[in-house]
Structure 1
């Protein structure tokens, strides 16, 4: 009989003793030692040993015999002739440099965080001091503590104001255009013009001989701000500006006897050949400032050497809307016809606008054009097709310049600049031109003179402004109530094309003689509607903002804003269609709760500035800008010119940034109008 089964156990391997496997053992090396070994490879051993020994000597001396032995060994090594240093490992060096150097973005982030931490510490320190002070003086009356508490509060306020000022400067710097408003060829070749164009015109000797105090007195009396190097003297009569009799006769036919403030300083500046930025309220006569000198320059050119076939233009006027271009062309024709009647050379003017056949403009250019009035789109098309050139053009005027840049014509204007073959005299005009646009425009000008009548963006004092709170559903019926305020003609503005059509149809149903214009209508219909309204055949013109830029309706009694524009600059341009020259006018604006509060705050400040009645619902609006305007020493937004908000809360800037963000990746860099890329 077999015995019981033997139980087998799995033996675990015998653990090795510490003495075994000495060959595989690797001694631990500290991080400091490894760093030294790395530097040895780079040939920097000597420097490390020297620095180590000096540190030990300075700090502890020789704490033990072992330290002394090390020092002596190092000394012996120093006395030996130096061995040839090994060549550094370039790859290792580059890796170390990459590891040690932080990117600029990380540094900026760290700097920003550091600044925020410092600001937080400063705030906490102020709070702690205030708490300590209150704890210390809790048994003392508040009247006795008043002075110290006031100082603490002012210190805290100053730090907040400083932070606000820095933030505004940062935003303005970010939105500022980095590229100058010049042609791409000039930027590429680095062309810089340092001296303005010379002309043959000189002020009368009597005016030149007058002292500087006389000029200062005129500027102060007429509220003219002049900036720039060596501005020409102001001249208070057209006759002293050396215009010929036909020009003076044509001015009299228009009812113009003496120049307005912008003309007193602006016309001599342009006749002198200087570049100009002209800012004045609506209806102040800015058009004549650039038209009359241009006509004189063209007469001089024609007298010296007549224009031949396909030559010209000598002067170019660019405007944002077709109606404004048509109006300027009619004004030029008024003066040139009068000159021709008195035996002066015939001056030809070309009108280049969309909606009109190009052949009409091409016919004038073929016979030699002296002047050209154009919108950016049609001018770009004609330049690309070589229908006209700017080889002899030496005079450029951008009317409503800020509006063109805001409307997205900036790239077109920059591209048009690249077609010039030489220096030109450049003029920019508008009723509203914020600092941002002024600084950007200066990049295209040579030693410019800035002539500013009143505040840039201010409304005319000849307009009575009324603001009424009307619910959206009651607005169209309320128009009839507004029409009863004055006799015709009346101009009604609406933001959207659909609203224009609805208002036009409603007025026709009520038996009113009304016409309408907007961007969706045919050009012939638009021209006919404006002509009928100007000739008083129709009593009411309903329009979008295409009619708000520069159009001159001298007899308009009343402007009605069916809705409040999205920015205050458009409001100023709209109401500026009435109260032109010395005439008085009225503007009624309908607002409701849907209007942005920042725009309503701007409107409130505009009414206060123009000494108008402020309705209670507007007066109750108080914004942060109301407190900051006095404390920071500057008023309003430096981006759009609104008085009721700061650049940190600008609705226009926010809209522009959102638009740019939406256009990312959509631009066609190979398009015909992208010549500046």
Structure 2
């Protein structure tokens, strides 16, 4: 019986030929079912393309309701975009950024200034497609008429030998993208707006042409006493003006030692002896680097004239043309008596500032390397949730993340002094600067920090724009700034010149929600880690609406990515200022001024 049972439970033997036929039939059925599923998917996609008609498989009521909802959504977004454009147009200054004499006589320049510089012939012979391919490779976006070609090597710019040696001595061997395009544009005599991330070498772009232009004019007709300047560079802060002057002066000294005619640059900033500045003005100066307040003082005193000035550069131009500085810039413009070449540079350039600046430019060329207001990709951004009472103790832990030098930013002067005193008590070699300190102390602190004599520098936003500190490895934001563009400038003090850096920011629930939303979107754009606290923040505002350019995001006034112009705090301040001006309130009071440097 057992043998019989085992035989009944045994698997039936199937010939090999039959097994192969069955296997082929199974594979054939699988292929048929797969093809059938693919065809059903394609048909479903085709049906989804139809929002109405017999193929949509919807009732007439559903079709009508869906179509009306879509039209309402698009209509609302278009109306919102039109409303924002109207707000932006109302906030943009109608009066052009020109001198009073030029506006009174209706003077309009249509041609750019002529220069003797020409790019090499082989570069001029490049086709338009080749030029576009090179710009796309370097991620350079340009707009304007007859844009000069991009030059990828300093040697091809026909710079003098001492200038090339000077650049090599500062480890500037290969030009950055903004230098590749910006230098040919300015050397060709064209007006320009240059926007590139912090640490990209914008200072070289406007300093080299102004020095070479002054050198050419000096070789043609030497400058006499009390004449000049031939070129003018305006900076929003004293420290930035001093740093730019040092770069210009070093370049002029190198040229003079190589046998070229000596050039005399001059720095005009507040907090320094006016008698020494007056003596330098009487001696004659080729290039002036100044803050608006002190420059206007000497112009009104008639100690200096802009009669021969044909080159004007505004560094950190968005800050110079912003609220609180517009009147000073207009006053300076009134002292120009002939056509000039105007160039503007910044890492953050909102659309309102660009539109307003265009009124002062002739056939301008706009050069963008990345999005205006974007953070540098060479900076690792870390955002920490820290309560106010725990910030000081946690600051010591953050200082141990990297070796010195470290830069700490605060919003208030009192916080700067408190942190400075706390770190000194803990044995940390630290210095501090802010607007309430004497200019001599400010310059001495910066020089000690740059020389490596001090490990930590605590500062307000006076040190956030334009200043170049060597080998900064860590930037700490003790508190979140009131504007996101100040955050971009702060963290831009590290990760410069191709190096990488770290930026740590303290936030908590006391921060402005709009600024935190801007910070969240900025981190997402830079592909950085977003902390859980910021991930919970949501907005019901469509940051990239359907009715406008899909490449446009965020606020069109300040450039923040986390809000729109309709709820922009900075735009609200500007509207209030315009309203107070219209009603006769003094707009020059401390409440409405931007805190410009003298």
Q: TM-score, normalised by structure 1?
A: 0.76
388, 398, 420: which one pairs with 2:304?
Answer: 388
Distance in 2 separating the partners of 1:517 and 1:523: 9
In the alignment, what sits opposite 1:452? 368
Q: 2:580, 2:586 within 8 Å by CA — same for their partners in 1?
A: no
Give the direction of change, closer, same or farther, for the CA distance of 1:401–1:541 in structure 2 (3 Å limit): same
CA contact (8 A) 2:198 2:492 kept: yes
Corresponding residue of 1:373: 289
Moved more, 474-483 or 250-259: 474-483
- In the TM superposition, residue 660 of structure 1 has moved relative to its aligned partner by 5.0
Matched, 1:298 2:214: yes
Matched residues in 2 for 1:666 and 1:346: separation? 50
Instruction: Return 359-368 or 451-460, whichever deviates more.
Output: 359-368
Tell whether the 8 Å contact from 1:629 to 1:636 is kept in structure 2 after alignment: no
The residue aligned with 1:232 is 148
Aligned residue number for residue 336 of structure 1: 252
Task: Tell me, yes or no, if structure 1 residue 553 matches structure 2 residue 469.
Answer: yes
1:649 aligned residue = 567
Q: Are residue 667 (structure 1) and residue 583 (structure 2) matched?
A: no
2:423 is equivalent to residue 507 of structure 1: yes
Indicate if the aligned counterparts of 1:362 and 1:387 stay in contact, CA closer than 8 A.
Answer: yes
Contact 2:543 2:561 in 1 (8 A): no
Secondary structure in structure 2 of the residue aligned to 1:337 = helix
1:252 aligns to 2:168 (yes or no): yes
C-alpha separation between the residues in 1 aligned to 2:507 and 2:316? 26
Partners of 2:97 and 2:395 in 1: CA distance: 43
SS at match of 2:504: strand
1:201 paired to 2:117: yes
Distance in 2 between residues matched to 1:220 and 1:500, nearest whole Å: 43
List per-residue Cα deviations over 1:236-286 (Å, max 9, x = no partner).
Answer: 111111110100000010001111000000000000000000000000000
Aligned to 1:624: 540
Q: 1:246 to 1:613 in 2, by over 3 A?
A: same
Superposition RMSD in Å: 1.8
**Is 2:319 the counterpart of 1:319?**
no
**Helix, strand or coil for the counterpart of 1:406?**
coil
Mapped contact 1:395–1:424 kept (Cα < 8 A):
yes
| Separation (CA, whole Å) in 2 of partners of 1:264 and 1:410 | 31
Cα drift, residue 625 of structure 1: 3.2
Could you tell me which residue of structure 1 aligns to residue 99 of structure 2?
183
In structure 2, the CA distance between the partners of 1:429 and 1:668, relative to structure 1 (3 Å rule), is closer
The SS at the match of 1:312 is coil
Q: In 2, distance between residues paired with 1:628 and 1:238?
A: 40
- For 2:355 and 2:89, the matched residues in 1 are separated by 11
Say which SS state the counterpart of residue 541 (structure 2) adopts: helix
Question: Which shifted more, 183-192 or 577-586?
Answer: 183-192
- 1:517 alignment counterpart: 433
Report what 2:449 is aligned to.
533
Partner of 1:653, secondary structure, is: helix
With over 3 angstroms needed to count, the CA separation of the structure-2 counterparts of 1:668 and 1:583, relative to structure 1, is closer
* Alignment partner of 2:556 out of 638, 649, 661: 638
- Structure 1, unaligned runs of 5 or more: 1-140
The Cα of 1:668 is off from its aligned counterpart by: 8.3
Q: Is residue 624–residue 645 contact of structure 1 (8 Å, CA) maintained in 2? A: no
Cα distance in 1 between the residues matched to 2:543 and 2:414: 40
Q: Which of these residues, 340, 343, 355, is aligned with residue 271 of structure 2?
A: 355
Task: Label 1:579 to 1:456 Cα distance change in 2 as closer, same or farther (>3 A).
Answer: same
Corresponding residue number in structure 1 for 2:501: 585
- 2:39 corresponds in structure 1 to none
Q: CA deviation at 1:188?
A: 1.5
1-side partners of 2:320 and 2:543: how far apart? 33
Equivalence for 1:270: 186
Distance in 1 between residues matched to 2:584 and 2:93, nearest whole Å: 20
1:147: how far off? 4.0
Q: CA deviation at 1:358?
A: 1.7
Q: Paired residue for 2:52?
A: none
SS in 2 for 1:515: strand
Length-normalised TM-score, structure 2: 0.86
The answer to whether the Cα contact below 8 Å between 1:626 and 1:644 also exists between their aligned partners in 2 is no
**Whole-Å separation in 1 of the counterparts to 2:546 and 2:504:** 30
Is the CA contact (8 Å cut-off) linking 1:282 and 1:576 kept in structure 2? Answer: yes
What is residue 72 of structure 1 aligned with on the other side?
none
Deviation (angstroms), 1:148: 3.9
Tell me the SS of whatever aligns to 1:622: coil
What's the offset of the Cα at 1:464?
Answer: 0.2
Q: Residues 668 and 497 of structure 1: is their aligned pair in 2 closer, same or farther, counting only changes over 3 Å?
A: closer
Alignment of structure 1 residues 407-418 onto 2, 5 Å = 408-418=324-334
The 1:312–1:600 alpha-carbon spacing in structure 2 relative to 1, beyond 3 Å, is same
Distance 1:661 1:523 in 2: 35
1:49 corresponds in structure 2 to none
Within 5 A, what are the aligned runs for 1:124-139? none
Q: How far did residue 628 of structure 1 move?
A: 4.5
What is the Cα deviation at residue 444 of structure 1? Answer: 0.2
The Cα of 1:145 is off from its aligned counterpart by 5.9
What is the DSSP-based 3-state SS (H/G/I as helix, E as strand, rest coil) of the residue aligned with 2:503? Answer: strand
Question: In structure 2, how many angstroms separate the alpha carbons of the residues matched to 1:224 and 1:555?
Answer: 26
Q: In the superposition, relative to structure 1, how do residues 535 and 208 fare at CA in structure 2: closer, same or farther (>3 Å)?
A: same
Task: For residue 532 of structure 1, report the CA deviation from its aligned partner.
Answer: 0.3
**Equivalent of 1:156 in 52, 60, 72:** 72
